[in-house]
Amino acid sequence: MTMPVRQAISPVEARGFDTQELRRNFLIESIFTPGRIGLTYSHLDRTIVGGAMPLAGEIVLATEKQVGSDPFLKRREMGVFNIGGAGEVVIDGEAMIAESTDCIYVPAGTGDVRFRSRSSDDPAKFYLVSTPAHTAHPVRRITAEDANRLDLGAQSDANRRILRQYIHPDICETCQLVMGMTVIEDGSVWNTMPCHTHDRRTEFYLYFDMASQTRVFHFMGEPDETRHLVVANEQAILSPGWSIHCGAGTGRYAFIWSMAGDNQDFNDMDFVAMEDLR
């Protein structure tokens, strides 16, 4: 397992970044490596994000120096979202089925976590998000049917989308982690527009379910100093609380969002008027 570190970046610094610096600091270009776990440690709310893609054998979640404790989840909780073939997440010896679009909540204090694919020809792709936690809550498997469904946007604005809240206070008790999935409907391109910031929470996006030539133009930066990143399939964005986060795709796409910070209030957003965007 590898775990590079991303430092927190201030808006003043980000104003001077060129494209390569923006990508180096805010984009994770490779999430899934066959047969391995790859994680990135971000100083944005000390969130760890990455992926596990088991093939014929199982992969064990091991700790790293950056975590500062052993086992990995001694003082952390984790959301595990499968976007690949069927698999299992083994939590302290108990195997939990994880079909595609299932999410598993793994609590603080868990000693041993392993990942398996049902078939190496159609391997599971487990997207992992871990945040600091102060207490343990029950393990949960959450399916798309279990999640809160919100139908948002309008075709006239090209932003019809289905948002599902998986790890959310109404569904699954956690310390601070919130996690869900948004699918852009056919014929729409925009997500999260009008855009917003939420200075009390960090957000991470994993864009997926995209054709090889599809790209999402992810907009970031302060409202009056916007920038953009061109994002391919199964790449992730780190979004500081001071930054807007919205996007438009050249074709079909979906994304998994996660948040951590001072609260779990999904509606705690500071909306940005269209006339204030620059």
- 198 in a known ligand binding site: yes
- 222 in a known ligand binding site: no
- Beta-strand pair 87-91/140-142: unpaired
- 245 in a known ligand binding site: yes
Are 146 and 164 in contact by the 8 Å Cβ rule? The answer is no
Q: Give the separation between CA 120 and CA 111, rounded to whole angstroms.
A: 26
Number of alpha carbons in the 13 Å side-chain half-sphere of residue 46: 11
- 196 in a known ligand binding site: yes
Q: Give the separation between CA 98 and CA 83, rounded to whole angstroms.
A: 10
Q: Give the separation between CA 275 and CA 27, rounded to whole angstroms.
A: 27
Q: Give the separation between CA 38 and CA 3, rounded to whole angstroms.
A: 7
Q: What is the largest CA-CA distance in the chain?
A: 54
Which residues fall in the annotated binding site for Zn(2+)? 196, 198, 203, 245
Residues tagged in the binding site annotation: 196, 198, 203, 245
